[in-house]
Amino acid sequence: MTNRPTLVFGGTFDPPHRTHVAMARQAADALDARAILVIPAAINPQRIHAHPLALPHHRLAMCRIAFRDEPRAQILDLEVHRAGPSFTIHTVEELAARGEGPMRLLIGSDQAVNFRSWRAWERVEHLAPPAIVVRPPHAAATLPALLRERFGPDADRWIGRILPISPTDVSATAARRELARGLDPVDLDPEVLRYLRSHGLYPLRDEPTSTS
């Protein structure tokens, strides 16, 4: 049995973009991961009232396109077929029951500092120890101090989980704003852009009329 981990990468992917792919690839390289499990969420439990704009089958299809050149990537529909919010504990338990392991959970530093607000976070940490990518508003130089504040005696373990890769700013929100203005976001793969345009996703919105 291999000791190389499987990287579990969840998110709404609404839409997936190049930074998602680059972050997963760099993290997998840093961990020598044998696989990257890309798992679009049905509903993000941290944003329970903000449902994804694109339907699950479209987000799955766009993920398959976005990650098509990464041979380690597998796009899974575990969460979109599960009713209700997509709690990570249910996903890692299902993966563990399938015999998947060892696992590492790829998360941003914004999620890391709030990790103990997650459902059954201790069980999640046991089954799939987080692998942390630095994201705004955090910086590599200041994140360790914040983790010490949040995790106290466990801080060294969490600091050791920060991946030695470049900080990244993943923002599907920014991409959606550009799409709504009729722009082609530079961080979207042209094939992803072609797919979402052909299916009428993220439609144009009228700009507010100025009264000045």
> Does residue 76 lie within any of the structural domains?
yes
Which pLDDT band, with edges at 50, 70 and 90, does 212 fall under? very low
Report the domain count for the chain: 1
- Which structure tokens are listed for 197? 């345009």
Q: How many helices (H) and strands (E) does the chain have?
A: 9, 5
> Does residue 207 lie within any of the structural domains?
no
> Does residue 1 lie within any of the structural domains?
no
Q: Which pLDDT does position 2 carry in this prediction?
A: 64
Average pLDDT on 94-120 reads 95
> Does residue 71 lie within any of the structural domains?
yes
CATH number at residue 60: 3.40.50.620
Q: How far apart are CA 150 and CA 148, in angstroms?
A: 6
**Which long-range contacts (C-beta less than 8 Å, at least 24 apart) are formed by 137-140?**
137/110, 138/109, 138/110, 138/113, 138/167, 139/167, 140/167
Residues 6+ apart with CB under 8 A from 14: 52, 53, 54, 59, 172, 176
Check: CB of residue 196 under 8 Å from CB of residue 54.
yes
* SS3 (DSSP) at 73: strand
Q: Which pLDDT does position 46 carry in this prediction?
A: 64
> Does residue 208 lie within any of the structural domains?
no
> Does residue 206 lie within any of the structural domains?
no
> Does residue 36 lie within any of the structural domains?
yes
> Does residue 191 lie within any of the structural domains?
yes
Residue 58 has pLDDT above 60, yes or no: yes
Residue labelled with tokens 């797919």: 195
Average pLDDT on 89-100 reads 96
Percent of the chain at pLDDT exceeding 90: 78
Residue labelled with tokens 């990790």: 115
Instruction: Find the domain containing 140 and state its range.
Output: 6-198
DSSP class of residue 35? Answer: E
Q: Which pLDDT does position 101 carry in this prediction?
A: 83
Break the chain down into helix, strand, coil percent, rounded to 5: 40, 10, 45
